[in-house]
Amino acid sequence: MKKILFFPVLFFILLLNIAGTCCADEVVVTSTVDKIPDAIRSTLNQGTWKITYFFDSKTNKLNSFSGYNFTFGLNDVLTAQSTSLDYSGKWSVIKSNKMDDNPHNDIEFTIAFLNPNGAGLSEDWHVFEITPTQLRLRTTESSAGETKYLTFEKS
């Protein structure tokens, strides 16, 4: 009789454990690069980068920036170069201290292009993954609640 009662209770506890760990509200920054702004700057300062994914307002906008090489230069200078056009802007990466931020995802990455054609990228992004060859960003517009995603990969 004890075995009959024991297995359903054990099964119920197992289900509670699985249900409690399956879903997280926020993505935690994963990294093979140190999760500090100086390490991220150092990684991005090396070489040129391409956009391999850009999803904005339910639309894939990768084609808007295909063929561009991005350079995250010293002194926060950002350059986007293609065979026909060049754009300049600024970039920065900081550790955020905002109270509304997720403490595990508190690295802000700002892109600000001076030319309106780069305006789709000009945002205050959050870093949610950084490796020596890939930078994945996201931002959520508070008014519409839509999330944008942007991925740079080293060329």
Residue 122 belongs to domain spanning: 25-154
Asked if the structure places residue 134 within a domain, the reply is yes
Domain count, the chain: 1
* pLDDT tens, position by position, 116-153: 667 689 999 999 899 999 999 999 876 777 889 999 99
pLDDT by residue (tens digit) across 5-60? 555 655 555 555 554 444 444 444 555 566 689 999 999 999 999 999 999 878 89
Asked if residue 145 belongs to a domain, the reply is yes
| Banded pLDDT at 3 (limits 50, 70, 90) | low
Q: Does residue 11 fall inside a structural domain?
A: no
Rounded Cα gap, residues 53 and 21, in angstroms? 29
Quickly list DSSP for 58-102. Answer: TEE-GGGGTT-EEEE-GGGEEEEE-SS-EEEEEEEEEE---TTS-
Domain contains 104: yes
pLDDT beyond 80 at 78: yes
Q: For residue 35, what is the domain's CATH number?
A: 2.40.128
DSSP 142: T
Token duo for residue 71: 């350079």
Question: Which pTM was predicted?
Answer: 0.74
| Strands 49-56 and 30-31, bridge-based pairing | unpaired
Q: Give the pLDDT score at 20.
A: 46
Which residues sit opposite 77 in a β-bridge?
90
Could you write out the DSSP letters of every residue in 7-72? HHHHHHHHHHHHHHHS--SSPPPEESS-SSHHHHHHHHTSS-EEEEEEEETTEE-GGGGTT-EEEE
CA distance 126 to 124: 7
